[in-house]
Amino acid sequence: MGTILDALTSKFLTKLGQLIEDEVVMTLSVKKDIKRLKKNLEYFSAVREDMEALAMKDRRIKAWWKSMTDVMFDVDVIIDLVMVHSQKLLLPPRSVCCNQSMVSCFGKLSFDHKVARRIKDINEKLDEIKTNTQMFSLDRTIRQQFQVTTVDRNQTSPIDELELVGREIKQSVGNIVQMIVSGCHENSRSVLGIQGMGGIGKTTLAQKIYNEQMIREKFQVHIWLCVSQSYTETGLIKQAIRMAGEKCDQLETKTELLPLLVDTIKGKSVFLVLDDVWKSDVWIDLLLSPFMRAFNFHVLVTTRDLDVLSEMHAIYTHQVNKMNYNDGLELLMKKSFQSSEQISEFKNMGYEIVKKCDGLPLAIKVVAGVLSTKKTVAEWKSIRDSKWSIHGLPKELGGPLYLSYNNLPPRLKQCFLWCALLPPNFEIHRDAVAYWWVAEGFVRKEHEFSVHEIAEEYYLELVRRNLIQPIPKYVDKAVSTMHDLLRSLGQYLTKDHSLFMNAENNNAMSNLRRIGISHAVEKIPALEEHKCLRSLLLFNNKNFKSIHKEIFRKLEHIRILVLSGTSIQNIPESLGNLVLLRLLDLSYTEINMLPESTGSLISLEYLSLLGCHHLDSLPAGLMRLSNISFLQLEQTAVDHVPKGIAKFQQLYNLRGVFESGTGFRLDELRRLPNIQRLWVEKLETAAPGAELVLKNSHNLRELGLRCTVATTQERTRYQTDEVERIQQVYDMLIPSPSLVYIFLEGFLGIRFPEWLLSEPELNMPSLCHMHLNECVSCSELPPAGQMPELLVLQIKGADEIVTIDTELLGKGVRSAAAFFPKLELLHIISMCSLEKWSLNIRNKLDDMEDNSQQFTLMPCLKRLLLLDCPKLRALPQDMSMIVNLKRIHIEGAHKLQEVVNLPAVLWLKVKNNACLRRISNLCKLQHLFVQDCPMLDQAENLCSLNRVYMIDCPHVQEFRNCLAEEEQGILVHVAADGRNIFPDESLYN
């Protein structure tokens, strides 16, 4: 924490230096006190970096440290208040009468006096703290110099990586499965437990049991519920109903949901997993009664607490053993290196470090994250010999977990700790969390990069260090989660000033600076009592229905206000008092208007109105907010975007903007030099201009272009001249060469824009993600195979496409000698007219002018999703040339008769394919999931299979007979009840 203090004081000194030089502040009576404050802070920039450890060890130092932290928060507030006030004084004066001018003058004098008094109080506190600093000998020690560098994306973990969890797990799985299956008979009921400390692999073991073939065979219904500490009863019941195969979207109360759960499982055999249980009442008081109506049920519970299992009358408890050192070493090396040549050099030191991790997989991963930044054996040795914990930390949070936190650079520490405010299992979106960190002041501009780019690099650094875990289906690692133990560590280290409030912990302390409130909290506390609050986060809490009209007069220090998914309908005018507010997220609320006082939020940088379906207008004062860098208007009822967006010179992310009569015009985009992410809507109403409006957008990384109408039937209402106008609008939106993401949604033209059809690799050489959705009238696809950096390609709802042929491959990329040299994910979805798909690479090479060079086809493609293409007759013959294609999901391809000759595929799911008869020559296939394929009866050369799941397949016995003798024992037949197979059938697992 001492290094965080260093980062804070460094930031404050910079700001104070600016204020002393500011001509406006020079006129204030507080100049002398500001200089004194700066001198005081210069002293505290030399406080020891290990203050946090000392504070936990010594109660007197802890009290000192808490006082210091509180004062630092106060310093931050007063500096920002002065800066905001000086900014107000520099605003163009409005015409005022004499009396108003006198009021303004008295207001300035009042502010000066208020600021002078507060700075004087702070200086007196700092003087007192300084005395104590000398008494405790808390002078500076030699400090490690930290540096956050640009993330090396080659070092980030590949999405296909399989983590070794220990060889003993197979035996444990077999024993527990046998116990469950042998006790499965009519009216049998049992509870079994898996107990162990956090991070030891309880959930992994439960997942393997849940997916075992014998469990699949014996039970008709399989339900997995993640309970955690902040579950809601209705949310848990809904999840149980959905996993049992029913829908419950229209039901909201427990009274409505419980009878449906009973009807869904009544008379059936049920296997239920309750993962991460903290209290037994979730079973005893909520779920036991409905599950008693099942034919039989067996419950597997994972928990840290043996008392939970005792109270649930568990008949057997399995305690998870720690990972042995050899397995741990393999995991450590896998997570810290990508180069196999380096492993032998670091092996001995790695073995000693694994021993210190004491067999915990999570601990090994986070320490590997630290080691990934160290390049020599000596640096690894320094980590081994460093202090791995501090006095006062709970045992399960110390050691490797604390080491991984303590080795973070100061600003990354702040970012990591802030994530502990978020709900458990929360999906952390890179773009959102980057703005939260910027709004908190954790991120400073460096070199030529903006604060938002720096914040995104911080996010990726936390991913690389395994402190947040990316969700596999996002190739760019843009969405992640935080392990509950790491979250607990963050909450422990910030407990004096930050709180995540849940149903069990709803008594907030005074003087809190940050509060996150769980959706499970039924009674929202009196927030106006927390006058020092700077961050308030509510996500999807429907119990939060109204805001007291005067509350924002009391929460004057607040910087971040997130009310996303709450039930509020009105925002009071007192909102305008939040002069320090930088981030306001009202997404998916029920508000129908914003107060005019929104225009007084002089510090506001981020405003999200996403999904505010009742909001039909924006206040005129909004256009006065010159600091806005993020504005989101998607999925609202707003029908007029005011003119003046071009005044927002700091705009970095603009979403949902559209031309509207006398309001916003596309040519305003020309005057937004910093824009990096842009979504333009309702382009069917836009008028083509004479200029290329994105010509000067040299930093643009993401571009979304959307027409509102998206179906063939709706398209027919447009006359030829209207379609041509829309075509012209898109043609003039030529993106910057810096583009990384392109989204075309509901495009109404008959051909894709010229900049996408002709040499797109020159127009967009850095493009990684291309999504072409509901482009219903285009009969020809762009040559995406020419894109040298393309990672993800999605083609959805292209109704006019009958054949996908070599036009998609284009000319290939000569420098890589490949078509689609980097493509990893390919999605072909809802192609209602698609009959033929041919890669035809041999003919393509014959047609090329220089065919002497040997080209490869999609050498990096790992996953293919083929969904709702009812007329497609066959997969491309050349697909066998794709050497790394590991996972395929085919669903709704009713003319497809066979899946054959795919030598690299390890995982295949086929579902709802009416004519599919044969699966053949998939010699590496290990996992096969089949559902609702009524004609499937032939199999050949599936020699590597180790599990098969089949639902609603009448010819299962014929299919089984086709397998070789050694393969037949692994087949699992799941009863025909129309359910999905099980949770890990996702393409992205």
- The model's pLDDT over 487-506, given as tens digits with 9 standing for 90+, comes to 999 999 888 889 998 877 66
- The answer to which of 326-340, 514-528, 644-658 has the lowest mean pLDDT is 326-340
Residue percentage of the chain with pLDDT more than 70: 82
- Which token pair is 749? 């033209």
Highest mean pLDDT (candidates 20-29, 67-76, 343-352, 412-421): 412-421
Give 233 or 154, the one with higher predicted confidence: 233
User: Residue 873: what pLDDT?
Assistant: 96
Domain boundaries of the chain, sorted by first residue? 1-90+106-134, 169-319, 323-407, 408-493, 496-610+629-634, 886-988
Average pLDDT over residues 554-570: 92
CATH number corresponding to 496-610+629-634: 3.80.10.10
Average pLDDT over residues 947-956: 86
User: Residue 789: what pLDDT?
Assistant: 96
Residue 725 in this model has a pLDDT that exceeds 80: yes
Q: Cα separation of 746 and 706, whole Å? A: 6
Length of the chain: 989
Average pLDDT over residues 572-592: 94
Measured at the CA of 220, the angle between CA 183 and CA 167, to 5 degrees, comes to: 60
- The model's pLDDT over 656-698, given as tens digits with 9 standing for 90+, comes to 999 988 899 999 999 998 999 999 999 998 998 867 889 888 9
User: Residue 173: what pLDDT?
Assistant: 78
Q: Give the pLDDT band (50/70/90) at residue 982.
A: low
User: Residue 89: what pLDDT?
Assistant: 55
User: Residue 1: what pLDDT?
Assistant: 44
Which CATH architecture does the domain made up of 408-493 adopt? Answer: Orthogonal Bundle (1.10)
Residue from 377, 1, 368, 445 nearest 164 by CA: 368
- Decide if 169-319 and 408-493 have a common fold: no
How many Cα neighbours within 13 Å face the side chain of 627?
19
User: Residue 764: what pLDDT?
Assistant: 94
Q: Cα separation of 571 and 598, whole Å? A: 10
Average pLDDT over residues 562-589: 94
Q: Which residues, other chains included, contact 184 with Cβ-Cβ below 8 Å and sequence gap of 6+?
A: 218, 219, 269, 296, 298
The highest-level CATH class for domain 169-319 is alpha beta
- The answer to which of 46-50, 241-245, 602-606, 712-716 has the lowest mean pLDDT is 46-50
Q: Give the pLDDT band (50/70/90) at residue 113.
A: low
Q: Cα separation of 236 and 226, whole Å? A: 8
Q: Which residues, other chains included, contact 238 with Cβ-Cβ below 8 Å and sequence gap of 6+?
A: 248, 251, 257
* Average pLDDT over all residues of the chain: 82
User: Residue 307: what pLDDT?
Assistant: 86
User: Residue 145: what pLDDT?
Assistant: 45
User: Residue 219: what pLDDT?
Assistant: 83
- The model's pLDDT over 613-662, given as tens digits with 9 standing for 90+, comes to 999 999 989 998 989 999 999 999 999 999 999 999 999 999 999 998 88
Beta strands in 134-234, from DSSP E residues, in sequence order: 189-195, 221-226
Query: Under a CB-based contact definition with an 8 Å cutoff, are residues 544 and 559 in contact?
Result: no
- For the chain, the straight-line distance linking the first and the last C-alpha, in angstroms and rounded, comes to 37
Residue from 961, 954, 924 nearest 939 by CA: 961
User: Residue 104: what pLDDT?
Assistant: 44
Highest mean pLDDT (candidates 72-76, 448-452, 513-517): 513-517
- The model's pLDDT over 144-190, given as tens digits with 9 standing for 90+, comes to 444 444 444 333 333 333 343 455 666 777 788 888 887 766 667 88
Average pLDDT over residues 467-473: 88
Residue 463 in this model has a pLDDT that exceeds 50: yes
CB atoms within 10 A of CB 101: 11
Q: Give the pLDDT band (50/70/90) at residue 73.
A: confident
Residue 98 in this model has a pLDDT that exceeds 50: no
Residue 292 in this model has a pLDDT that exceeds 90: no
Residue 825 in this model has a pLDDT that exceeds 50: yes
Q: Give the pLDDT band (50/70/90) at residue 846.
A: low
Residue 250 in this model has a pLDDT that exceeds 60: yes
- The model's pLDDT over 880-938, given as tens digits with 9 standing for 90+, comes to 889 999 999 999 999 999 999 999 999 999 999 999 999 999 999 988 999 999 999 99
Residue 521 in this model has a pLDDT that exceeds 60: yes
> Is 681 exposed, middle or buried (CB count within 10 Å of its CB: 0-12, 13-18, 19+)?
buried
User: Residue 84: what pLDDT?
Assistant: 81
User: Residue 511: what pLDDT?
Assistant: 78
Highest mean pLDDT (candidates 108-117, 254-263, 705-714, 971-980): 254-263
Query: Under a CB-based contact definition with an 8 Å cutoff, are residues 299 and 192 in contact?
Result: yes
Sign of dihedral through CA atoms 840, 842, 846, 850?
A: positive
Residue 466 in this model has a pLDDT that exceeds 80: yes
User: Residue 637: what pLDDT?
Assistant: 94
Q: Cα separation of 692 and 733, whole Å? A: 6
Average pLDDT over residues 784-801: 95
Q: Give the pLDDT band (50/70/90) at residue 251.
A: confident
Regarding pTM above 0.85, the answer is no
